[in-house]
Structure 1
Amino acid sequence: MRKIRLAIVRQKYRPDGGAERFISRALEALDDNSLELNIITRSWQGEPKPEWHLHICNPKKWGRISRERGFAVAARTCWQREQFDIVQSHERIVGCDIFRAGDGVHRVWLEQRARIISPFQRTLTQLSGYHRYVMAAEEAMFRSPSLKKIICNSLMVKNDIIRCFQVPEEKFAVIYNAIDSQRFMPATSAQRQQSRDKLGLPDGAKVFIYVGSGFERKGLKASIEALASTSAHLLVVGQDKQQSRYRQLAQRLGCEERIHFCGVQNNVIPFYHAADGLILPTLYDPFPNVILEAMACGLPVITSFTCGGAEFIVNGQQGYVCDALDVPALTSALQAVPLRSADSSMGDAARERVRNCSPAALADQLHALYQQVLQHA
């Protein structure tokens, strides 16, 4: 039996990125004798497996538009030359068979971002050639007859695409990201104590964790404002060029001693183990992996309606969902999440909710999707 030649397109492959973690889990899960795996990328960090075929497409670039357009042309040239059976793109490129909408809809992100930027910045965004290019590329791809299937990692993104581009229902496959529930597990009381001691957290303190780089989009400002009127601590795992601005905000609100900037961490698990809940009131996020990680570690999650992860949360059961900018509602949620050492029922419900998001389930869904696409080729 001839192997299916699958090409996955990702402009820049960084092992720590959310899309890359989806790809690597999918590739590992799909790594069997029926598939020949090809990666079309501009640059690859880390060690690919010897049986993966790398196709480096790295044309010269002079700015953001030329970077996007140049890679799109080079990637399409590569896959047309190689005549792959299936091309699955994680970039907005016309002509792919499958598109994974891991970044959501650019137009919707700009609508949400407009809520927190100045009128001058809104005007700049409207005039930006880059944003216009991305929206045009996105529209052309979604309207292309070549596009057979769209993988969404949340119903929110599926609904956004239908609303913006009137794509028919049958083109969608909602496939949630996978989480390794054997690696991401709730802390034992000893692990919790050890993590808290190492971070210098006081005994009996309620501790929340925020994980993500790009503080503006992921809602760190609202998180700090909400936390200021509680006695809880916040572990900020991630980095941002504007970090000093968030430190100053914490100082102004008188809670700087309870906000701990921990930087980027290769292993976030000990930080989850120190926490009682995750807070991520993101302005727009298709479905961040950190929500799955936190829930697998037995943490209730506080997030926003504009986060795909909200689909996994019923208020008061696995956490709380509110508007990304509703600080009083976020404060109430912070107060309502219990100390895990006193009551773990909400965190246990969170872990139970992600139990089916296994790498094996992801592989089965992708296999079924590829078979569908090949049958209609």
Structure 2
Amino acid sequence: MTRLAIVRQKYNPAGGAERFVSRALDALAREGSLEVSLIARHWEQITGVHALKADPWYLGSLWRDAGFARAARTLWQREGFELVQSHERIPGCQIFRAGDGVHARWLDLRRRTMGWAGRLRLAINPYHHYVRNAERRMFLDPALRLVICNSRMVMHEIQQDFGLSDDKVAVIYNGVDTEAFHPRLRVLHREPMRERWQVPADAPVLLYVGSGFERKGVERALRAVVGQERVHLVVVGGDKHLNRYQTLASRLGIEARVRFTGPQHDVKPFYGMADAFILPTLYDPFPNVCVEALACGLPLLTTRQCGAAEFVREGENGWVVDALDQPALQQAVSSWLALRGQWSALSAAAREAAEPLTLDAMAETLLACYRRLLAAA
């Protein structure tokens, strides 16, 4: 039996990265070909998985990541695992899931939004130097056998920056529960949710879901509805600078058409109340919310720097613009409004794009990767 270690600082079975592997691991465990262990700092109980704790003391994000990396590597070397799949940037693992993309690419894009003082702080920040160095060492380590990318965008970035061959990379898109996230949510929730949030029944509604408002573009979403007199924007999620965005909405004169709901335990009713989904993110390898929105039949307005843009057919099920091209984003909203008579067709095309991205399909593709590595081992 082959022993596999999954490495993740904080393991939450409901998290996106964890859901990604859980089904394939269950299938392998049932086959009796794999014994799975978890190396983590904190975790929730996982049936059938043995957990090993790697929780050295730390002070600050750099020490936290570096200390965990050293402790995790020591554990997997001591235990003698045949396969180690890391979700953290740790040199020496055999499998790495690049769920956060390439750190250097994120930093390059972030610089575009900053003045000289911000760029200087970014340049001298030791944490970013640590992450970039760990990332490079990991991708160039001879132990690395496979990088799992959640979009072709991320795969191309890794190959361009680190020269990995085609046999060392695989694209496995995040799966979605296509039964739970379904256009029928519109029938169930459109009317009651609009009443609850005081949105007119016939108003065009754009939905945003996510935390990290700066990176994911809430300001750009707010500015995109200026001048679109009937469009309402619903922002689901939390941010420590929420007041700043509420003030901006007021300054732009759109506060009556914007709803900040805060974090929500269940976002499905919000998909049901909306007509389209907007995520003008600065950099996002493959956000689950985009796949959920498409599965619910919501056309997607996003950026070229978002991995989910690979599923958008311009003008058919969404629009894609550069992350910092504000006029283009406003034009995309206008184009969406101009096609109001064809929204049912846009909705059907959105749903069609998401239908292949089932959880079972994701698990089977991942399972095939594991089997290939196990056979080679």
Residue 203 of structure 2 corresponds to which residue in structure 1?
Answer: 205
**Cα gap change, 1:341/1:182 in structure 2, threshold over 3 Å: closer, same or farther?**
farther
Residue 153 of structure 1 corresponds to which residue in structure 2?
Answer: 150
1:324-339 to 2 correspondences below 5 Å: 324-337=323-336
Equivalent pairs: percent with the same residue? 49
Amino acid at match of 1:352: E
* TM-score, normalising length: structure 2: 0.94
Distance in structure 1 (CA, Å) of the matches to 2:202 and 2:252: 23
Residue 343 of structure 1 corresponds to which residue in structure 2?
Answer: 343
Residue 238 of structure 1 corresponds to which residue in structure 2?
Answer: 237
1:98 aligns with 2:95: yes
More deviation in 81-90 or 176-185? 81-90
Residue 40 of structure 2 corresponds to which residue in structure 1?
Answer: 41
Superposed displacement of residue 249, structure 1: 0.9
In the TM superposition, what whole-angstrom CA distance separates every residue of 1:95-151 from its partner, at most 9, and x where no partner exists? Answer: 101000000000000000011122111011111111000000000000000000000
Distance in structure 2 (CA, Å) of the matches to 1:214 and 1:30: 35
Residue 320 of structure 1 corresponds to which residue in structure 2?
Answer: 319
1:362 aligns with 2:362: yes
Distance in structure 2 (CA, Å) of the matches to 1:29 and 1:374: 14
Q: Is the CA contact (8 Å cut-off) linking 2:210 and 2:238 kept in structure 1?
A: yes
Distance in structure 2 (CA, Å) of the matches to 1:29 and 1:121: 47
Q: Is the CA contact (8 Å cut-off) linking 1:229 and 1:331 kept in structure 2?
A: no
Q: Alignment partner of 2:174: what SS?
A: coil
More deviation in 330-339 or 287-296? 330-339
Unaligned runs of 5+ in 1: none
Superposed displacement of residue 188, structure 1: 4.2
Cα RMSD of the aligned pairs, angstroms, is 1.7
Residue 70 of structure 1 corresponds to which residue in structure 2?
Answer: 67
**Cα gap change, 1:219/1:55 in structure 2, threshold over 3 Å: closer, same or farther?**
same
Distance in structure 2 (CA, Å) of the matches to 1:30 and 1:273: 36
Residue 295 of structure 2 corresponds to which residue in structure 1?
Answer: 296
1:223 to 221, 224, 228: 221
Q: Alignment partner of 2:69: what SS?
A: helix
Q: Alignment partner of 1:210: what SS?
A: strand
Q: Is the CA contact (8 Å cut-off) linking 2:149 and 2:172 kept in structure 1?
A: yes
Unaligned runs of 5+ in 2: none
Superposed displacement of residue 332, structure 1: 2.0
Amino acid at match of 1:11: Q
Residue 192 of structure 1 corresponds to which residue in structure 2?
Answer: 190
1:108 aligns with 2:83: no
Distance in structure 2 (CA, Å) of the matches to 1:123 and 1:98: 34
Q: Alignment partner of 1:228: what SS?
A: coil
Superposed displacement of residue 376, structure 1: 2.9
In the TM superposition, what whole-angstrom CA distance separates every residue of 1:271-330 from its partner, at most 9, and x where no partner exists? Answer: 010000110011100000000100111100000000000000011111000011222221
Distance in structure 1 (CA, Å) of the matches to 2:64 and 2:321: 37
Superposed displacement of residue 25, structure 1: 4.9
Superposed displacement of residue 156, structure 1: 0.3
Residue 163 of structure 1 corresponds to which residue in structure 2?
Answer: 160
Superposed displacement of residue 53, structure 1: 1.2
Residue 262 of structure 2 corresponds to which residue in structure 1?
Answer: 263
Amino acid at match of 1:180: D
Residue 353 of structure 1 corresponds to which residue in structure 2?
Answer: 353
Residue 286 of structure 2 corresponds to which residue in structure 1?
Answer: 287
Amino acid at match of 2:257: R
More deviation in 28-37 or 8-17? 28-37
Residue 132 of structure 2 corresponds to which residue in structure 1?
Answer: 135
2:176 to 162, 179, 182: 179
Distance in structure 1 (CA, Å) of the matches to 2:253 and 2:27: 48
Residue 79 of structure 1 corresponds to which residue in structure 2?
Answer: 76
Distance in structure 2 (CA, Å) of the matches to 1:30 and 1:211: 34
**Cα gap change, 1:31/1:320 in structure 2, threshold over 3 Å: closer, same or farther?**
farther
Distance in structure 1 (CA, Å) of the matches to 2:291 and 2:29: 23
Superposed displacement of residue 215, structure 1: 0.6
